[in-house]
Chains A and B, each alone.
Chain A
Amino acid sequence: MDYSLGNDQEMIRKAAKEFFEKECPKEKVRELKEDPKGYDPKMWKKMVELGYVGLVLPEQYGGTEGDFVELAVFAEEMGRNIAPSPFYTTAVLCALSLMEFGSEEQKKKYLPKIAEKGDVWSFAQTEEKGDYEADEIQLKAEPEGSDFVLNGTKLFVPFATAAKNFLVVTRTADNDDPKKGISLFIVDAKSDGIAIELMPTAARDCRCEVAFTNVKVPQENLLGDLNDGWKIVDNALQYGAVTKAAEMSGGAQAALDIAVNYARERKQFGKSIGSFQAIQHTLVDLLTHVDGLKYLVYEAAWKISQGTPSKILNSMVKAKANEVYHNVGYHGMVTHGAIGWTEEMDIGLYHLRTKVNQFDGGGTDLHLERIAGELENLEPDYLKLYG
């Protein structure tokens, strides 16, 4: 048992911390709120050059062969600075899906362009139901000659306006079990029949409605096996849950620091407000769970890095992150009093990201249900011992 970061992990922590502090101060975050692109291509280019976008990809595909803990540590630092970027959808959801389920040809064709050139990819999954369950996938992909034709609408598609390609989750067959009959396609964003409209989201992180009308996709753009795409989605959700939770963990740590600093400095009744137990104990409760989240994230990431991922843990991590991030944002705001509600204070920037963070990588109820499903298969130690 050892919670220490290894050398490479410590190096990436330090480098990422310096990078985001320099490249993404809060003025930049505020500036990007007004930018429909939702991210800064120059900063993204630098992330590509530093090898961050291909952090866990093999060298042969342009990556730097880091492990999943490095990815988590990097995401933690990105979240600490609430740095807006297409990292999560490109480098985690899309690149890792390509890596694990793509043909050799697909990997060679697409991955180096992501890792070395910074092609933005967008994972298009959510539809009108607005969740991450299989039964919401209604966008149809029907075979026509050597193509598939896509019809339907995806919502909350991240950075769709910047995307070179979409990874679209489609329904290719109807089935009593909604997890069957799902297929994923790599879709060129410039294809005819694609209409993109920006959705107004609180974090202004370029979430889009993307309508597909008779969009033709060549058969070779199928990722993995036809009708068996749910496992790709589920795999992306596992990685996504842990990476997003890592980002939220960093954000929660930073938001708590902001609240504690304010409580220390702000004086009322002749005292620093942090000396009042009502405030102090609230912050202490937050600290406990911020600490807890940090280690849950590391544990889940470490297990993935060891090739022994744990589904129950991945879900625990995301459900916990949702709760902690919400609590730190809310109580962080309230600790500030009225000033916390103004545009000038940083705490609000964190709180504005509560909802996008909550649903990226899966909402709380989704993960609690997954945990419960795993608990049903639990075999207690005491039964093992006595039989």
Chain B
Amino acid sequence: MDFLFGEKEEKFRAEIREFVKENMPDGHVHHIFDEENYDEEWDFAMSMARKLAERKWLTIAWPEEYGGMNAPAWQKVVFGEEASYWGIPGLGMGVSGTGWVGPVLMLLGTEEQKKKYLPPIAAAQDDGVWCTGYSEPDSGSDFASLQTRAERVGDEYIVNGQKVWTSCAHRARWMWLACRTNPNTEKKHQGISIIMVDMKSEGLTVSPLRNFAGGHVFNEVFFKDVRVPVENLVGVENEGWTQLMTALQFERGTAIGFTAMSRRLFEGLILYAKETGEMKKAGVRSKLAQLAIDIETARLLAYEPVWMAEKGMVPLHQASRDKAYSDILSEKLTRIGTELVGAYAQLDILHKDNKWTKMNGGLEHLFYHCPGLAVAAGTTHVQKNIVGQFGLQLPRSY
């Protein structure tokens, strides 16, 4: 048993902090999705991504032969923690390239595909920016019911249909598209494929979907007779469902980043409560103490699947458990946090540089984004279904 990181990991942590001190503005508080929303934030994120790429930190989890660092598990944990705590932008690179497009291509892609697509991702080039086309207007949590059609005609697929909630489609060069290549199957999970679509294709239109707080993260993407070469198929045609499950495993990952981000906001909140005198109030003390317990609990839970994998056990429901808990905890942290910020918490997050904004608006930003985070990559409720089914071996509830 050991509840500390090793010397090597702590050395790496110190190295990352040096990098942060050199390259990031003092007092930076990460606002999730701002890089998608603002051109200048996007440029900063891409410039940071290239600096991270130079150190191979951008692709810390990738094997060396594909330009990665192939870091051991606990070193990746340290990186995930530090990146989120300090809010280093650029790691999402369109929230999919380094995360699941790359790793799935390494598993299932052809040599040509690997050669073509992996290096631009690893080097943080503009051509390495990806978006992911999963959700559709009538296919949300019931993902396998997707309808976007890719009909094979000769050496091409002709794609027709619509995707929605597509993050970063307005920044991406490529789309990782889940589509139906065979509409006449017995079960909805059959006949699905993954294809890679050039966002510059004719017939493809991206239309912004502003969120309720005024930010532009999501898009609708429309396909009208979009032609995609057959060599852009990933893996096996019509076997896309199991491949997508592999991709989702990469996407769901761990809650390590989330807990570190929460800790950053929480630490700021403690200082704020001390400065404003709120920390003297019994009710405030009690709420902050409870948050401290929640954050430590989330941190220890998030390490569990890493430890399990290290020891040759197979984590099953843990990632879902931790995603659901992160969702619940972001709501709680921002509810308590914004109460402490008081009336200032109503300031518009689109004006975070306003002179009245407290703590860089980090809490308000997360407050308005946490409902979105709770539905992204599997809603809180869907995650609980998974935990119930696989963690508690209860009958399938949906």
Q: Which residues of A contact B (CB under 8 A)?
A: 1-6, 9, 69, 260, 263-264, 271-272, 274-277, 280-281, 283-285, 287-289, 291-293, 295-296, 298-299, 302-303, 312-313, 316, 319-320, 365, 367-369, 371-372, 375-376, 378, 380-383, 385-386
Contact = CB atoms under 8 A, between A and B. Distances in A.
Contact of B3 (A1, A6, A319, A382): A1
Interface stretch (B141-149, B331-339, B379-387): B379-387
Interface string B347-365: 0000000000000000000
Contacts of B293: 296, 316, 319-320, 371
Given A284-B324, A284-B388, A372-B286, A276 B397 contact: yes
A316 B297 CA distance: 9
A201 B385 CA distance: 39
Nearest to A256: B392
Nearest to A312: B292
Most chain B CB neighbours (cut-off 10 Å) among A263, A275, A276, A383: A275
Contacts of A9: 1
Given A284-B384, A291-B301, A365-B286, A376 B279 contact: yes
Nearest to B394: A274
A5 B306 CA distance: 16
Contact of B303 (A1, A372, A386): A1
B387 A376 contact: no
Nearest to B282: A369
A283 B296 contact: no
Contacts of A296: 293, 296-297, 300
B289 A368 contact: yes
A293 B285 CA distance: 21
Contacts, number: 161
28 contacts: A1-B3, A1-B4, A1-B5, A1-B303, A1-B306, A3-B304, A4-B311, A264-B393, A277-B398, A281-B388, A283-B388, A284-B324, A284-B387, A287-B392, A295-B303, A296-B300, A302-B2, A313-B296, A316-B292, A319-B289, A320-B297, A375-B288, A376-B274, A376-B279, A380-B264, A381-B267, A382-B27, A385-B17
B272 to A, nearest CB: 11
Contacts of A280: 384-385, 388, 392, 394, 397
A248 to B, nearest CB: 14
A295 B74 CA distance: 17
A284 B392 contact: yes
B381 A277 contact: yes
A380 B27 contact: no
B292 A375 contact: yes
A300 B393 CA distance: 30
Contact of B270 (A2, A281, A312, A378): A378
B112 interface: no
Interface residues of B, number: 56
B300 A260 contact: no
A299 B392 CA distance: 24
B267 A378 contact: yes
A386 B21 contact: yes
B187 interface: no
A169 to B, nearest CB: 25
Contact of B301 (A292, A312, A380): A292
Nearest to B301: A292
Most chain A CB neighbours (cut-off 10 Å) among B3, B274, B304, B391: B3
A5 B307 CA distance: 12
Contacts of A2: 1-2, 307
A245 to B, nearest CB: 12
A1 B384 contact: no
Given A260-B394, A280-B385, A382-B86, 10 more contacts: A1-B307, A6-B1, A260-B392, A274-B392, A284-B321, A284-B388, A293-B297, A296-B293, A319-B290, A372-B289
B2 A281 contact: no
B157 interface: no
A69 B289 contact: no
A316 to B, nearest CB: 5
Contact of A386 (B27, B271, B396): B27
Most chain B CB neighbours (cut-off 10 Å) among A2, A275, A287, A296: A2
A319 B271 CA distance: 23
Nearest to A380: B267
Interface in B159-183: none
B85 interface: yes
Q: Which 4 pairs show the lowest CB-CB distances between chains A and B?
A: A372-B285, A380-B267, A371-B289, A292-B297
B247 interface: no
Contacts of A381: 85, 267
A315 to B, nearest CB: 8
B26 A386 contact: yes
Given A287-B387, A368-B290, A386-B26, A3 B303 contact: yes
